[in-house]
Every structure is written in structure tokens, then in C-alpha cells.
Amino acid sequence: MKRRVAILISGRGSNMTALIEAAKEHDVPAEIVVVISNKADASGLPNARDRGVPAVILESKPFGNDRAGFEAELQAVLDDNRVDLICLAGFMRLFTAEFVQRWQGRMLNIHPSLLPSFPGLDPHGQALRAGVKISGATVHFVIPETDAGPIVMQGAVAVRDDDTPATLAARVLQIEHRIYPDALRLVAGGGTRLDGGVCRTTAHGRSGDTLISPELA
């Protein structure tokens, strides 16, 4: 039986689109049953509807700092749709620890850096200022601490000397669109287990999978 998935967005939801398209494949053990936005003008809403996925607006602004009140309404939508897993895709609102704990091991997020390096805002700027030669994206389970949950999957790109935050972000975004659907497939298919603060998986990298940057000829 396919796991029922909700995607939470606040904006364009490009990762949302990647997840929806990937879930259309017959062998994916996940079904995107609803997209929920906390902003009425999120451009991802019509994209979801165009792809046949119901899209719900649950504005967070009227709740102000009442995060628990917003989460109660959100939980009602999740319950109505019998959601098993949550994927955050550019959802720009923090959750209470209580909500996160309720969904422990069932809520995924993607962050555009190789965590635990460069959490939080401006990860590409952080990476360039640090002078790293490899950056990328990380899919992780959500815990109360920001960008700190058990890592499910990572993908990497080389950092170029002439990169700007924008050019690096564009290449990392391509990696995000590859690994988020794969991570959801892995989790929905029962291919992960949490061992303390570490996510163990049944998947293994191919032998010889290395990325060296800069690589000498």
C-alpha cells in the first residue's frame, strides 16, 4: 500500500513539482494526496492543481505567534487527508517541538547544503565564504532543532571559483530535484530506520562513486 504524503510549501515549490512528478511512476511507494500552503499567493498552488493534486490554503499570518493554534488547524487538514508522511518544500514557518515530535520519523525536509555544514539562512553564501570545493543538498528527518535531523540522503556538486550564490544555488537545485524524490521513495518503502540520531538505510552507494574537486587531469 502506498504511503499518503502531504507536501507543505510557502512559495513556488519546485521540489514539490519534482516530488509530484516522481510519485506518478507506478513503482513509487508514495502518493501525493495534498499540497498545503501557508501563503495564499504561493505560486506552487496552481502548479499542484495543474498536476491533479488537491491544494489547500491555510494562511499562518492570522495566527501571528500562535504556532500551536496554526498547527492544530494544520493537523486537522492532515487528518482529513489521512496523511502518513510530510515533505517540507520551502515551507517558511517553524514548528513547535510538540508538533515535530508528533511527526517524528515521518516528516522530511531538504536543505541546500551538505549538513551539518552551513545550516540556516544563506547556505550558498556561507559555503562560498568558507571556500569549500564541494557543496550540495541534504534530505533529513525534521527534529525540533533547525536543519539538524538525521540525514537520509545527500547529493554533491563541485564549487567553482567563479561561482556566486545564485549560480551555485542553481546547480544545487538540480541535485535537490534528484535526491528528494529518491529519499521519499526510500522512506516510504521502509528502507530507513532511526538509530539514535542517525538514519540507517538499506540503500548503498555504487562502488567508485566519488567526487573530487578540483580534480587534476
d(C-alpha 176, C-alpha 170), whole Å: 10
What cell numbers appear for 93 in the block? 514557518
**Of 111, 124, 140, 177, which residue is the catalytic one?**
111
Whether 111 is catalytic is yes
Active site residues per annotation: 111
